[in-house]
Structure 1
Amino acid sequence: MKRNCNYCDEKFEGRIGKKYCSSYCRSAFYYQQNKEKEDTLFKKIDDQLKNNRKILKTYNKAGLVTVRKEKLIKEGFDPKYFTHYWKNKKGQVYLFCYEYGFMELKENSKNKYLLVIWQSYMAI
């Protein structure tokens, strides 16, 4: 008995209960279905990490800069989301969103972030 594929709508033959004409169509169908689920935890985290990276990249053109914390937060930056961290010899911890890092500090009684870009010596 021939039936139509749930993804591409082509006619195909196969075992009873088979819904897709190929593994490609099956995979594409589920990919599309999951892509449309906007509220998945993974998507929220991924979106925030990408947003954090974009903001850090925008403010850190020179490789090392200090920015007021409130300015980044207003842009949508969330310091709770980072991909990894690096601890220097002084014990200071830099949090990174991919290759762009930040460390919170207090300067003249104002909360700021020191922004850096990942360097090869940090991998040691």
Structure 2
Amino acid sequence: MPILDAKDYLKDGRTRYIAAINVAIPQAARKKISKWEEPEHFGQVNRIIMRNYQILKRLYNERGMPIKNWQLSDEGFEFKFMTGIYKLDEGIDIFMCYEYGWYQLQDNKVRIYFVPRFF
């Protein structure tokens, strides 16, 4: 099918126009267009999650002593970003950043947990 111009598009309608686009775009360009590229916000989200992970790792204590919310916030922790939710047998939902997680306690305190990966 030959490459159509705007006049042919107006006469023949949508189907012929789409076919013309497929013929007009070289194969190399089609491959480049079809290649998926990571959106910019994916990198931003990943940086936030990694920062949360580093903060949890640094503030984690094996005794399970709770810390204040402001301590996490002052470090730059963002509570809305996590990698998953781990449910304990007691019915507690721990919000995870990889193998470290947090649970919101009463009176603006947070308990940090370490949940090793099971493979």
TM-score when normalising by structure 2: 0.62
Could you list the runs of 5+ residues in structure 1 that have no partner in the other structure? 1-16, 19-33
Deviation, 1:94, is 0.2
Aligned to 1:114: 111
Is structure 2 residue 91 aligned with structure 1 residue 91? yes
Q: Is the 8 A contact 1:99 1:118 kept in 2?
A: yes
Corresponding letter in the other structure for 1:82: M
1:66 and 1:114 in contact (8 A); partners too: yes
Q: Which has the higher strand share?
A: 1
1:66: how far off? 1.1
Whole-Å separation in 1 of the counterparts to 2:77 and 2:101: 12
CA contact (8 A) 1:65 1:116 kept: no
The total of aligned residue pairs comes to 88
Shift in Å at residue 63 of structure 1?
6.4
Q: How does 1:1-124 map to 2 (within 5 A)?
A: 40-62=40-62, 64-106=64-106, 110-119=107-116
Query: Aligned partners of 1:100, 1:63: CA distance in 2, in Å?
Result: 14
Identity across the alignment (%): 25
Q: Distance in 2 between matches of 1:68 and 1:99?
A: 21
Greater C-alpha radius of gyration: 2
The structural deviation recorded for 1:50 is 0.4
Cα offset for 1:90?
Answer: 2.1
CA distance in 1 between partners of 2:63 and 2:98 (Å): 14
Shift of 1:119: 3.6
Distance in 1 of aligned mates of 2:48 and 2:102: 15
Moved over 3 A (4+): none
Q: Distance in 2 between matches of 1:41 and 1:119?
A: 28
Gaps of 5+ in 2: 1-26, 29-36
| Structure 1 or 2: more helix by fraction | 2
